[in-house]
Amino acid sequence: MKAKNMLGNQSGFTLIEIIAVLIIIGILAAVAVPKYFDLTSEAQTKAIQAAGAELQGRINQNFGENLLSYSGDCTTALSNLNTTEIQSNLGDFSVVSGNIPTTESQSASIILRDTKNSYTASYTVFTPSCP
Name the β-bridge partners of 123. 110
Residue 125: CB atoms within 10 Å: 22
Local structure of residue 103 (DSSP, 8 states): S
Q: Of 65, 59, 48, 47, give the one whose Cα is nearest residue 83.
A: 59
Span 26-49, pLDDT tens digits: 999 998 888 887 888 888 889 889
- The burial of 52, by beta-carbon neighbours within 10 Å (0-12 exposed, 13-18 middle, 19 or more buried), is given as buried
pLDDT, one tens digit per residue, over 93-111 is 988 888 888 888 889 999 9
**56: region left, alpha or beta (phi > 0 left; psi from -120 to 50 alpha):** alpha
